[in-house]
A = this chain, B = another copy of it.
Amino acid sequence: MSIERFSLNQATIKRADLPTALDLAAAAGVRSVGLWRDRVAETGLHEATRRLAASGLRFSSLCRGGFLTDPETSDQAWKDNLAALDETAALSAAGAPGSVPVLVMVVGGLPAGERDLVAVRDRVRWFLERLEPEARTRGVRIALEPMHPVFCADRAVVPTLGHALDLVGDLDPAAAGVVVDTYHVWWDPDVVPMIERAGAERRIASYQVCDWITPVPEGALLGRGLPGKGHIDFAPLTRAVEAAGFDGDIEIEVFHQEVWDAPFTRVIGDCKRAFTEVVAPHLG
């Protein structure tokens, strides 16, 4: 099977700086990359766009905007998200044809001492409504990422695909979509109907694949494996995302200490194999 639609999210080779990640991906025959803001900033946006253009790689998303739930840091969050929109526009313009101007949004958890989830979720909606015109003006699409409920307190108060769709429901689909990340949504009894709904509402901005492995490590963050290493059935999810009309690049984004410690080229090879064996067979 082809790795044509495989995109390497650079967090999977976390220790690599941006030039290294681009060089290794291109050398391995990868066609697309998802980038991270901290590594873009380290290289400098101008140099990052130059290198991305030179690499011939497509750009599939920038991680990440968001962290907008704390009223105390609201002004900073606003400025930071505008900068992230600008970076997304610049990078997607620099990528090879087929690049998409997608900014992944991790909304943030409960502010310290706050327990009113309803109010915090209202705040997310309010913030996204303000941000959407800014995204539209820049030709960028914000992609709200529902995260696994284990992160509800400390990372993202949006725990299901259905809830994410509700939150962006009044916004222009061209400027506001959602991320479907297998790791975050696989457990949901409604996941397939919600993927169908996301397709019908033209909201799928990104499809990311990684596996749920046990035992869950402390803090839960690094409990992600390459597709095939854990408990997730990638067939029904991938088929549903395809049937919902998503035809873009598919990122493998793995947070796991052993993966991060391994040699970059081996990890990229493992990703290509996992994509070929576990994901690609379910693509049309």
| Chain B CB within 8 A of A284 CB | no
Residues in B neighbouring A150, C-beta threshold 8 A: 148-150, 216, 220
**Of A59-67, A152-160, A170-178, the one with at least 4 CB within 8 A of chain B:** A152-160
| Chain B CB within 8 A of A38 CB | no
Residue of B115, B154, B162, B232 near A233 (CB, 8 A) is B115
With both beta carbons as reference points, the residue of chain B lying nearest to A232 in the complex is identified as B115
| Chain B CB within 8 A of A258 CB | no
Which A228-284 residues sit within 8 Å CB-CB of chain B? 230-233, 236
**Chain A interface main SS type:** loop
| Chain B CB within 8 A of A72 CB | no
Contact A116:B216 (CB < 8 A) given known A150-B149, A159-B187:
no
Is A233 in contact with B149, judged by CB distance below 8 angstroms?
Answer: no
Cα distance A66–B280 when bound, in Å?
Answer: 37
Cα distance A244–B217 when bound, in Å?
Answer: 37
Residues in B neighbouring A116, C-beta threshold 8 A: 233
Band of interface residues on A: 20 to 34
Please give the count of copies of this chain that the complex contains.
Answer: 2
Is A220 in contact with B231, judged by CB distance below 8 angstroms?
Answer: no
| Chain B CB within 8 A of A75 CB | no
Residues in B neighbouring A218, C-beta threshold 8 A: 215-218
Encoded as 1 (CB less than 8 Å from any B CB) or 0, chain A from 13 to 36 comes to 000000000000000000000000
Is A219 in contact with B219, judged by CB distance below 8 angstroms?
Answer: no
Is B115 in contact with A153, judged by CB distance below 8 angstroms?
Answer: no
Q: Which of A110, A149, A188 has the most CB of B within 10 A?
A: A149
Cα distance A218–B116 when bound, in Å?
Answer: 26
Cα distance A110–B232 when bound, in Å?
Answer: 10
Residues in B neighbouring A54, C-beta threshold 8 A: none
Is B148 in contact with A215, judged by CB distance below 8 angstroms?
Answer: no
Is A231 in contact with B149, judged by CB distance below 8 angstroms?
Answer: no
Which A200-223 residues sit within 8 Å CB-CB of chain B? 212, 214-220
Residues in B neighbouring A153, C-beta threshold 8 A: 187, 212, 214, 230-231
Q: What are 22 residue pairs bridging A and B, where the CB atoms are less than 8 Å apart in the complex?
A: A110-B231, A115-B231, A115-B233, A117-B186, A117-B189, A118-B236, A121-B189, A148-B150, A149-B150, A149-B187, A149-B188, A150-B216, A152-B187, A153-B187, A153-B212, A159-B189, A160-B189, A163-B189, A215-B218, A216-B219, A218-B218, A220-B220
